[in-house]
Structure 1
């Protein structure tokens, strides 16, 4: 009887531990927008980072910028649990980006228009801002692409499409460091995302925006602000953009918008040197456009589903 009771208690404890671990296991959210980009923020979710389901809900409608659009939404969570969102507010003649924050992804702060390129009077745009939380320096880094005509050598691109990457940093999204050049790789570049692999070990995923390339590559650095080096070969088909990467198990998955093929592609890699096309293994809903992937708990996802169902 005593042995049976001990065995039962041990079994019960194991069940509780397993249930607790399962409830804390992360799931994946993928920010999204649909053309014509005036609707606002959408999100997909996945339990394995391969198969995605649309939450079919507009989380925040764009209200700032002359065009009142939201493209390229990027979300990063701070150490205090607050989610921060930045996005593209206009194609051309817009030197700022959109910003809002939320504690639960349902209720959002008042939107702001941050004039990141206002110091450059001829700057054409501020495209695809990406958020990265630098846990070593305890700050957020915002990287985006902009064109300052006649500033850099160019290839076949027009002067108003000869992009370089710029950045600003902030600790509170109230004050920002002066915008500076982040990367001039010697060619037009947009859609950059910083990844951290380990201490002093960073990868930059980006789009070569030159003609005729328009595809994805990566480079490496020991600091999130660079300098970046050892650029890889372009490893996606032409007409690829909007890359975002997430670690799933022991592999990294790099998603990208293959806009001529009208689908999302994906590459798997262990070392960012060799890449395996796994586009046939992923399932991304039609209409999903340039976003970024981040992790939340199952509890947070279930809260989102519950709140959405009540609206």
Structure 2
């Protein structure tokens, strides 16, 4: 078990990526300690601007953790980082969610929303300046990504409440021919929604409960089509639901 001795000394949302050469693994995670705090609003105003990084060559023995700052001064939090090695860029693209505040609001007391950010790196030590990747005008978090048959498929959680939109707390699916495109094409929304939903044929039926983030699609030596495993929390606790997503059609089917 890995623990963090840096930053807030708390860690969550771990994600592991293998180097393209196959000789090293990087594990990145959110620098966030909620024990003894519990104030979700405050940690999105004055939270960490860094991610926690470990390295390994065998997935058993890991380096000591280190902090890597990726977010700008205007960010209030740096949540749920993931990474993807983009051959077109020739670097790892690290992406995460941040609430961005006005430069004229250094104490972060105003109202704002989470956007998906990204930065590039070759070694998880030095990062490019952060850029906005997803900005819908409302909070979106926990994006995950897969490339299939030359197209990038991105799945992102709509962080709005169900009182704001029927698709609140469910998953948005989009696609693009390039990874860092700011304007992915819409494929489906309300993924995980099993109680009626919308008339669009590409939208999934609604399900009860409060879905959380979309975990990464399975990659590598797995049967086609790719598989998305949304995570959901309800009154019975967290549950995994297998949602098959043929990337050519993106017509998710819930496997109970």
| Equivalent residue number for residue 77 of structure 2 | 125
2:124 and 2:10 mapped to 1: Cα distance? 21
User: What is the CA-CA distance between 1:231 and the residue it aligns to?
Assistant: 4.2
Partner residue of 2:93 out of 112, 128, 141: 141
| Equivalent residue number for residue 273 of structure 1 | 250
User: What is the CA-CA distance between 1:190 and the residue it aligns to?
Assistant: 0.2
Residues 35-69 of structure 1, C-alpha deviations (whole Å, 9 max, x = no match): xxxxxxxxxxxxxxxxxxxxxxx2x2222212x12
User: What is the CA-CA distance between 1:110 and the residue it aligns to?
Assistant: 2.6
Secondary structure of 1:233 counterpart = strand
Secondary structure of 2:229 counterpart = strand
| Equivalent residue number for residue 181 of structure 2 | 226
Residues 129-187 of structure 1, C-alpha deviations (whole Å, 9 max, x = no match): 01111123221010000002469xxxxxx936x21000010112222111111111232
1:61 and 1:100 mapped to 2: Cα distance? 10
Q: Which structure carries more relative contact order (alpha carbon 8 Å, separation 6+)?
A: 1
User: What is the CA-CA distance between 1:226 and the residue it aligns to?
Assistant: 1.6
- Which stretch of the first structure deviates more once superposed, 231-240 or 123-132? 231-240
1:150 and 1:233 mapped to 2: Cα distance? 30
Aligned 1:1-311 pairs, distance under 5 A: 58=1, 60-66=2-8, 68-81=9-22, 82-90=24-32, 92=43, 93-117=47-71, 119-121=72-74, 123-149=75-101, 159=111, 162-199=113-150, 201-212=151-162, 213-227=168-182, 228-236=184-192, 237=207, 239-243=210-214, 244-247=216-219, 248-260=222-234, 261-262=236-237, 263-271=239-247, 273-278=250-255, 280=256
Q: Is the 8 A contact 2:157 2:213 kept in 1?
A: yes
Q: Is the 8 A contact 1:150 1:159 kept in 2?
A: no
Q: Is the 8 A contact 2:145 2:217 kept in 1?
A: no
User: What is the CA-CA distance between 1:242 and the residue it aligns to?
Assistant: 2.1
- Which stretch of the first structure deviates more once superposed, 231-240 or 217-226? 231-240
Q: Is the 8 A contact 1:203 1:219 kept in 2?
A: yes
Query: Considering only aligned residues, what root-mean-square deviation do their CA atoms show, in Å?
Result: 1.9
Secondary structure of 2:241 counterpart = strand
| Equivalent residue number for residue 296 of structure 1 | none
1:231 and 1:188 mapped to 2: Cα distance? 19
1:177 and 1:198 mapped to 2: Cα distance? 28
Q: Is the 8 A contact 2:170 2:189 kept in 1?
A: no
- Number of aligned residue pairs: give it: 210
Consecutive unaligned residues in structure 1, runs of 5 or more: 1-57, 152-157, 281-311
1:221 and 1:169 mapped to 2: Cα distance? 18
Tell me the TM-score normalised to structure 1 length. Answer: 0.63
Secondary structure of 1:251 counterpart = coil
